[in-house]
A and B are shown apart, each in its own frame.
Chain A
Amino acid sequence: MNLSNYLVLSAVLFTIGTSVVLLRRNAIIVFMGIELMLNASNLAFVTFARMHGDLTGQVVAFFVMVVAAAEVVIGLAIIVAIYRTRRSASVDDANLLKS
């Protein structure tokens, strides 16, 4: 089976994730989009590792998973905190940092 199919799948997943981040307003969904992008890149890493016969890409995929786990913890905590104060999980409502 051709390994490049995995790369195509990875690109498709990444694009879907990006689109979700850019287009959706619900913070939870946006978060899911980010997860999708991370996992798409993980897939690309693993595929390249296989293609080149080098384990480095697989190791990096593990790192990404760890970082993603930490990121989920912090990100969800922030979303919950914002929801508690503003009664909304829309990213457009958290726009206080604009000038």
Chain B
Amino acid sequence: MTSALASVPAAAAAGSAIPATGVFEYAWLLIALPLAGAAVLLLAGRRSDAWGHWLGVLASGGAFVVGALLTVVMMGAPLEERVQDVHLFDWITAGAFDLAAGLRVDPLSLSFVLLVTFVGTLVHIYSVSYMEHDAHRRRFFAYLNLFIAAMLLLVLADSYVLLFVGWEGVGLASYLLIGFWNHEKPNAVAAKKAFVVNRVGDVGMLVAIMLLFAAFGATDFETVFSLADGANEALLTAAGLMLLLAACGKSAQFPLQSWLGDAMAGPTPVSALIHAATMVTAGVYLVVRSAPVYAGAPTALLVVAIVGAFTLLFGAVIGCAKDDIKKTLAASTMSQIGYMMLAAGLGPIGYAFAIFHLITHGFFKAGMFLGAGSVMHGMHNEVDMRRFGGLRRYMKITWITFAAGWLAILGIPPFSGFWSKDLIIESAFATASGEGWQPWVFGTVALLGAGITAFYMSRLFFMTFHGTQRWPGHRVSQTETVDEPVQDPHESPALMMWPMIILAVGSVALGGVLAFGNAFERWLDPVLGYTEHPDPVLPIPVIIGATLLLVLLGAFLAWRQYAAAPVAVVAPRGSVLTRAARRDLYQDEVNETLLMRPGQYLTRSLVFGDRQVVDGTFTGLARLVGGSGELVRKVQNGYVRSYASTMVAGVVVLTAVVLAFRI
């Protein structure tokens, strides 16, 4: 495919790849290392129980070292050599269709490689301690390695088909890890739900691949992107919408977001790695990677932005009502990915910011999930925030690292979330044309979302670490006595602390470092092309000021309600909105009524029809044959004389016939 590209110099502006040279030829090691780790851990079985987890850490860490090396070399390479294609092998050759499996190493994929392997390795290290008492720790690490390999394949693939392999791979790893404790039924059900909802998205992915293949005769990025320029807009819109459907499934965007909350049934490190930092952001990656497709489909892009904006508020509202610490974080993830989708939906002015927020979010959200895991570790796996309170005195490091993530997601300067989120809000207030309703609507939604985010994240933070102690064994109120075992909150071991500390450092500093001189945006330029940013409809200082004001307001409201005032141990009934938000805004009910029940009725009636009509015909035939056989069988009574008389009768009849007709 690279040779085909050489004949199209016009496409060499942005996003066209050159054959990989030098150290980039070894990019396959990125995938091979964790894949080998998973294979060894799964095949070696119990023999590797003793050292398997360290092998897992090593495989992931090795991939990070390779990724870091590639990034350093990439930074030294001239701009036009920063998009490289590593040919692996000829994969599918069928007539005119010739697809090679290859890796596309460019600043965009390397950003993901670094995020996935770095956060992934930290989560591996954390899990060594977190899963210490689990009999199946080795299997857990095998799945984690499998996930890392699949995710790297997803972001490094150079064609939609290969991307789809990684896409399904992370889905499988996610399924296996959500249901890791599948001996308890709710966990297995949650895993199944995630799998099924993701399948709905995958249909979109498949249809998109088929559309692109039907139109362009190829599925590799090079050909598709060079031909997408000037292709039929209706086709690109359809492909873009289908890609969006796929992205919605994987990234838990409306209307396919219902699985993410249940996915928290998995072990907390899994939630940190897969359902916060990496896998759920694959949808954003898909949209940004498909930028040339969306370039010719403004309608599809607008839908991306609308979906993002809607999910942003949707997740934020849910987050305000949940009492489960992990589900609050899951709702927050949904909402933050809504921000990324919104930014991606803004087109070229937002792509880089979407990825930027994705990276910083990967750090601070993974850090907060690990913090939640640490809290659960110290509180006998209690997840109800109404049972926490005042933990800052018992878990100092968790408190401080969580605070870093909290301030980052709030967008308080100079924490990393401020840089990335603020850029998205500013971009939302701007469009390329600078006209119309879009900047106002998207900008307001993004602004409001920031305020609500501040409220629910502060609520989570204050309910957990501040306020009165509400865990059993301590005085909850003057009259109430608690007969449950006494909780003994304690700090987690060092292996869990250090990943949290490192992620906290990232939450504090990463945004500022990457935003310095627009470094990150310029880094992505070879992939996304250089874009001038139009001025927002409001002056930038006003936007920043309004954001900070709303954030502080949200945080203050949360402080007044959950830190300064006592928090009820049993959730109050709440308003209509609270009750709805507690139940994910009735998304499960909607899905069940609109999709699941009719589907069940359909299958039931089809099964009925199959049994009665199709099976009925053939069982009826069989019964007819059987019945006549039953009748005829009676003739075979075993008496010689009856056989003999039959023969005599036959001879008589034959003779009569011969005589009668004189033959």
Contacts and interface: CB of A to CB of B under 8 A. Distances in A.
Interface of A: 18, 21-23, 25, 30, 91-92, 94-99
Nearest to A97: B638
A18 B633 CA distance: 25
B644 A21 contact: yes
Contact of B637 (A21, A30, A91, A98): A98
A66 B641 CA distance: 25
Nearest to A21: B644
A94 B633 contact: no
A98 B644 contact: no
Contacts of A91: 639-641
Query: Which 9 pairs show the lowest CB-CB distances between chains A and B?
Result: A95-B638, A98-B638, A91-B640, A99-B633, A98-B636, A99-B636, A22-B641, A22-B645, A21-B644
B648 interface: yes
Contacts of A96: 638
Interface of B: 633, 636-641, 644-645, 648
Nearest to A19: B648
B639 A95 contact: yes
Contact of A30 (B636, B638, B640): B640
B639 A22 contact: no
B359 to A, nearest CB: 80
Contact of A92 (B636, B639, B648): B639
22 contacts: A18-B648, A21-B641, A21-B644, A22-B641, A22-B645, A22-B648, A23-B641, A25-B641, A30-B640, A91-B639, A91-B640, A92-B639, A92-B640, A92-B641, A94-B640, A95-B639, A96-B638, A97-B638, A98-B636, A98-B637, A99-B633, A99-B636
A98 B643 CA distance: 11
Given A30-B640, A91-B639, A96-B638, 18 more contacts: A18-B648, A21-B641, A21-B644, A22-B641, A22-B644, A22-B645, A22-B648, A91-B640, A91-B641, A92-B639, A92-B640, A92-B641, A95-B637, A95-B638, A95-B639, A97-B636, A99-B633, A99-B636
A95 B641 CA distance: 11
A94 B637 CA distance: 11
B70 to A, nearest CB: 79
Contacts of B639: 91-92, 95
A98 B642 CA distance: 12
Nearest to A94: B640
A46 B644 CA distance: 26
Contacts of A21: 641, 644
B356 to A, nearest CB: 83
Nearest to B652: A18
Contacts of B645: 22
Nearest to A24: B641
A11 B102 CA distance: 97
A93 B633 CA distance: 19
A96 B636 CA distance: 11
A24 B416 CA distance: 111
Determine which residue in A23, A25, A94, A98 has the highest number of CB atoms from chain B within 10 A of its CB, and name it: A98
Determine which residue in B639, B640, B644 has the highest number of CB atoms from chain A within 10 A of its CB, and name it: B640
Contacts of B640: 30, 91-92, 94
Determine which residue in B644, B645, B648 has the highest number of CB atoms from chain A within 10 A of its CB, and name it: B644
Contacts of A23: 641
B636 to A, nearest CB: 5
A94 B643 CA distance: 13
A6 to B, nearest CB: 20
Contacts of A92: 639-641
Contacts of B641: 21-23, 25, 91-92
A96 B648 CA distance: 22
Contacts of A95: 637-639
A25 B446 CA distance: 104
Determine which residue in A30, A95, A99 has the highest number of CB atoms from chain B within 10 A of its CB, and name it: A99
B627 to A, nearest CB: 15
Nearest to A25: B641
A99 B631 CA distance: 12
Nearest to A30: B640
A30 to B, nearest CB: 7
A21 B646 CA distance: 12
Contacts of A94: 640
Contacts of B638: 95-98
Contacts of B637: 95, 98
B71 to A, nearest CB: 82
A13 to B, nearest CB: 15
A91 B645 CA distance: 14
Nearest to B637: A98
A25 to B, nearest CB: 8
A94 B638 CA distance: 8
B637 to A, nearest CB: 6
B405 to A, nearest CB: 81
Nearest to B632: A99
Nearest to B648: A18
A78 to B, nearest CB: 12
A18 B655 CA distance: 16
B648 to A, nearest CB: 6
Contacts of A99: 633, 636
A22 B648 CA distance: 9
A3 to B, nearest CB: 20
A43 to B, nearest CB: 18
Contacts of B648: 18, 22
A23 B644 CA distance: 10
A95 to B, nearest CB: 3
Nearest to B633: A99
Contacts of A18: 648
A98 B637 CA distance: 5
Nearest to A92: B639
Nearest to B641: A22
A98 B641 CA distance: 13
B568 to A, nearest CB: 80
A18 B645 CA distance: 9
A37 B311 CA distance: 100
B649 to A, nearest CB: 10
B617 to A, nearest CB: 28
Contacts of A22: 641, 644-645, 648
A17 B648 CA distance: 12
A99 B645 CA distance: 19
A22 B645 CA distance: 6
A97 B639 CA distance: 9
B639 to A, nearest CB: 6
B638 to A, nearest CB: 3
A21 B643 CA distance: 11
Nearest to A96: B638
